[in-house]
Amino acid sequence: AESERKYEDIARKLATKEDELERSNERCTNGEKKIIDLEEELKVVGQNLQTLEVSEEKALQREDNYQRQILDLIERLKAAELREENATMNIQRLNVRIDQTEEDLLSEKLKIKDVSDNLDNVFREMENGIN
């Protein structure tokens, strides 16, 4: 009776330990599966990180290129503005010169008219003197 009780007690403890072992094995299997899933996810995250790093490098290169283009365009704009300013000053000088030339032309036309009028008067006087 005593040994049967001990046997049943040990058998019950063994069954409990076997159940605990089975649950522990299931947890280990689940843990291993979770580790594999996490390792796979980590691999994907690593690949995504590499892709992002490459994308970032390309974006930085594009940004540098855009900055150089902006500086080049600013320089070209300044040069164009300087050319426009010089052209405006040249136009103003040419307009002044045109005005002066027109005044000189008018003055010369008036002188020619005076000479022509004087010649007409001389010829009239000569005709009147002959007649």
Query: Residues 19-65: pLDDT tens digits?
Result: 999 999 999 999 999 999 999 999 999 999 999 999 999 999 999 99
The tokens describing 23, both together, are 């649950």
- What single letter denotes the amino acid at residue 31? G
The tokens describing 91, both together, are 């136009």
CA within 13 Å, CB half, 128: 6
pLDDT above 90 for 129: no
CA distance readout (Å), 5 to 12, 13, 16, 19, 78: 10, 12, 16, 21, 105
Mean pLDDT of the chain: 95
Helix (H, G, I), strand (E, B) or coil at 1: coil
Residue 112 pLDDT level (bands cut at 50, 70, 90): very high
How far apart are alpha carbons 54 and 61 in whole angstroms?
Answer: 11
pLDDT above 80 for 18: yes
- Which residues make Cβ contacts (< 8 Å) with residue 45, sequence separation at least 6? none
Predicted local distance difference test score (pLDDT) of residue 93: 97
Helices (H), ranges, the chain = 2-130
Q: What is the mean pLDDT of residues 106-118?
A: 97
CA angle 13, 16, 17 (to 5 degrees): 85
Predicted local distance difference test score (pLDDT) of residue 131: 64
Residue 105 pLDDT level (bands cut at 50, 70, 90): very high
Q: What is the mean pLDDT of residues 104-129?
A: 94
Q: What is the mean pLDDT of residues 78-100?
A: 98
pLDDT above 80 for 128: yes
